[in-house]
Structure 1
Amino acid sequence: MRDFAVSDDPRVQTQLDRLGALSVPQGRIGLDVVRVLLERLGNPQRNLPPVFHVAGTNGKGSTCAFLRAALEAVGRTVHVFTSPHLVRFNERIRVSGKLIEDETLARHLDEVLDVAEAAGIGASFFEVSTAAAFLAFSRHPADACVIEVGLGGRYDATNVIETPVVGGIASLGIDHEAFLLAPEDNVPSDAMTRIAFEKAGIAKSGAALVTLDYTPAMNQAIQGQAAIVGAPVIRRGQDWTIVASPEGLTYSDAQGSLSLPTPRMPGLHQGVNAGLAIAMLRHQQAVDIPENAYAEAMVQASWPARLQRLGEGPLTALLPAGTACWLDGGHNPDAGNAIATHFRRPTRVHLVLGMLANKAPQALLEPLRERLASVTVVPVPGHDCHDVEAFRQVPDIPAPVAAANVREALSALRIDAQQDDVVLIGGSLYLAGTVLRDNDEIPD
């Protein structure tokens, strides 16, 4: 499976080819390798502007987008590290507000890869990517740094950050089971509690850990992890609230209340992500954020392939005029439930679905079951993925059909304008990247 994009710049492509050749030895977990790598690079992670560190199963990228928008609304410059990318690897690393330039990216990747190879430590794709981002951030000035956890939290490469100004945990669900639920002594046995335990591993001494409200066992696991390092937990429903209404959002905490516009990003869950970002900003003291910045963030923040309505382009031109075509990279049940909440009846959804072979086929189909008008299964280019037979095992849905690609799938749909039909392309961020490229909507 490939986890890297191609580049028109030969200097970048050379480094992407080197990245793509990396692998992680079976069973190897922990932060030892990335710490050695960063030590050889001069520990750039210790020379960053104030760090906002965000973990979660779903919503952490959107939370990062709200954080960045609020910080930039008051003229702050922001470094951002997120994953995965959709079309270009550059999307992972935003330096002082702009996607990292090809020449800078190639130079930093080359430096990190050379050091990793010389050390012979077997650094992984994500460890090298993280080190390259920290190296770039340490060499360019900015007022703040927003870091998204890649996978889990406790053993994620980004967790070498020693002194964040605040941490956050977004929505939690079952994902990456092979890594996050691997057998280990002295960890929770319940799957969801274990997920919460892993995410709470980002807690650091003296930095507030801002969370949503989960089950009592999950809340307790997070509280326990935070207590070990001396991190106060700021929980939704207990220390802060966010309420959506037709007029917008109302955020409240001990500091007071804010009346905010409805977020530009569609979906009721985005109000929750916005609330998490606001709570993080209001429970740190390193960067001053005036109240007007929060309202500006609601209308400015965007995050591609998360309930994104596609614009005019080569793919949407294949649909009848006026047909809404949505794109979402969600691939687990938690994401499926959020998507289904957005597409309320009587809307009928024509689902064009591609999912990696290690994801559950029913993750989107079951939440959307009552709204489905058709299901068309497409491959995820360059990846091992489910074929149409896997989806035919899910009961009580329209009979899935196969198409060779998204273009063929869209061309074959029978859209009924009288039935409020919409199209949703989903199931994989890798598929989403292909769709954005083919519809000429490359993220910037």
Structure 2
Amino acid sequence: MTQVRSDAILERMMALHPKVMDLVLDRVWRLLGALGNPQNDLPPVVHIAGTNGKGSTQAMIRAGLEADGHRVHAYTSPHLARFHERIRLAGTLITEDKLTSLLDECYTANDGAPITYFEITTVAAILAFARTPADYTLLEVGLGGRLDATNVVDAPALSVITPVSIDHQQYLGDTLAEIAGEKAGIIKRRTPCVVARQEDDALDVIEAQARRLGAPLSVHGQDWHVASEHGRLVYQDDRGLLDLPMPSLLGQHQVQNAGTAIAALRRLGASDTACEAAVVVPVWPARMQRLRKGPLVDLANPIELWLDGGHNRAAGEALAETLASLAPRPTHLICGMLNTKDVAGYLRPLSKVAASLVAVSIPGETNTMDAAQTCEIAKSVGMPATSAPSVPHAVAKIAEETASGRILICGSLYLAGRILRDHG
């Protein structure tokens, strides 16, 4: 049995997509009802929303819970190389057989009605989680929160809101407060919620929603604190202080994500051992990941090759901070982005730490920004920039012009996924 079977069903599901992309839950509720409402049979749910850091935070929470011996379901999106990455059943990626069966069942139950790809595949994940014994279910929001397809659980064990920033304005609103309102839509009545570091406008909205629903908050800077000190991660809350190794995931922003994960684990009653595992165990692809094998690595040699999938202003700021913390050497960017993103906002902080940029288009993506346009935007924020027809051409171009430094492929998770398919 091969992956072609699930890919074929996923392709059919794309044809069901409504003509207009609208954020509603009606289609999800209809299909869940046709399948017997599996959302009511999930193991205790931890629901995670936010703009940046959702995936890393979820990976850390999962590592901590598993260190305490729990079986954990996890749902994340988008995938990088294979759809199966989205659904982890009791600690293991879903098999091809099970995925094919679930997708076919959901496709049949939907009976040809309009539904988005994300909605029907989210329902398939929920159905899988309801049928497989586990101790916890981690659900990562896809877009927003209030009207996201994952927001169908009446009483989760815990809600988590990672940092909120400007992104997806066409769906979530133009201001930070409007976007925070959508993210805060996952907060449920009297359900505890862990809140990562936020800008004041976002935090005000989240706190107001929690007050309306009587949901107890555990807020960064108020109820818990995290920082890096002398090469260690120091976390403190009303239960005491934890002195831990630095996160296995690179970047100061991962210290903040680790703090959020630890706060969530403490809320769930996890052990100190679990909190340490949350910091040191996770591996999360395309988050400042060093590539060590594959054709592009051979092409770049001896220049280091890195990969990151961040794609908005806050991600650009975090990535610039991470690059500034590495050993000083020239960093050359290969950047491909979608035309729905704030390209200038992403590149502006990177212009302060990168020596040059080679722009590429993302192969196979309808909404890719043309490489020439990305190049012009990079120049407009003060970054020396050229364009290339592909990533291999860009790597070769940089390798011809310099024998040292690092190359960072960045700008989109879709581009990162293309690279990882060839690099494991």
Instruction: Check conservation: 1:205, 1:229, Cα contact below 8 A.
Output: yes
Q: Which runs of 4+ in 1 moved over 6 A?
A: none
CA distance in 1 between partners of 2:381 and 2:329 (Å): 18
What amino acid maps onto 1:335 in structure 2?
A: A
Distance 1:63 1:396, change over 3 A: closer
Consecutive unaligned residues in structure 2, runs of 5 or more:
none
Give the corresponding residue for 2:234: 250
Question: Following superposition of structure 1 onto structure 2, how do residues 114-193 of structure 1 map, counting pairs within 5 Å?
Answer: 114-117=108-111, 120=113, 122-181=114-173, 191-193=175-177
Task: Give the percent of matched residue pairs that are identical in Structure 1 and Structure 2.
Answer: 44
Give the corresponding residue for 1:187: none
CA distance in 1 between partners of 2:68 and 2:314 (Å): 33
Alignment partner of 1:355 out of 316, 332, 337: 337
Q: What number of residue pairs does the alignment pair up?
A: 418
Give the corresponding residue for 2:316: 336
2:288 equivalent to 1:303 = no
Give the corresponding residue for 1:388: 371
What amino acid maps onto 2:264 in structure 1?
A: M
TM, length-normalised to structure 1: 0.91
> SS of 1:157's equivalent?
coil
2:81 equivalent to 1:87 = yes
Instruction: Check conservation: 1:376, 1:409, Cα contact below 8 A.
Output: yes
CA distance in 1 between partners of 2:361 and 2:306 (Å): 18
Instruction: Check conservation: 2:55, 2:76, Cα contact below 8 A.
Output: yes
Instruction: Check conservation: 1:361, 1:386, Cα contact below 8 A.
Output: no
CA distance in 1 between partners of 2:422 and 2:412 (Å): 15
What amino acid maps onto 1:293 in structure 2?
A: A
Instruction: Check conservation: 1:361, 1:390, Cα contact below 8 A.
Output: no
Give me the CA root mean square deviation: 1.7
Give the corresponding residue for 2:48: 54
Instruction: Check conservation: 1:353, 1:375, Cα contact below 8 A.
Output: yes
Instruction: Check conservation: 1:242, 1:250, Cα contact below 8 A.
Output: yes
Give the corresponding residue for 2:181: 197
After superposing the two structures, state which structure 1 stretch, 382-391 or 255-264, moved more: 382-391
CA distance in 2 between partners of 1:226 and 1:37 (Å): 29
Give the corresponding residue for 1:4: none
What amino acid maps onto 1:331 in structure 2?
A: H
Q: How far 1:247 sits from its partner (Å)?
A: 2.9
> SS of 1:401's equivalent?
strand
Q: How far 1:240 sits from its partner (Å)?
A: 0.5
What amino acid maps onto 1:379 in structure 2?
A: S
Alignment partner of 2:391 out of 396, 406, 417: 406
After superposing the two structures, state which structure 1 stretch, 249-258 or 338-347, moved more: 338-347
TM, length-normalised to structure 2: 0.95
Instruction: Check conservation: 2:57, 2:260, Cα contact below 8 A.
Output: yes
> SS of 1:70's equivalent?
helix
Give the corresponding residue for 2:307: 327
Question: Following superposition of structure 1 onto structure 2, how do residues 280-295 of structure 1 map, counting pairs within 5 Å?
Answer: 280-284=264-268, 288-295=269-276
Q: How far 1:371 sits from its partner (Å)?
A: 2.0
Consecutive unaligned residues in structure 1, runs of 5 or more:
1-6, 182-189
Instruction: Check conservation: 1:365, 1:397, Cα contact below 8 A.
Output: no
Q: How far 1:104 sits from its partner (Å)?
A: 0.4
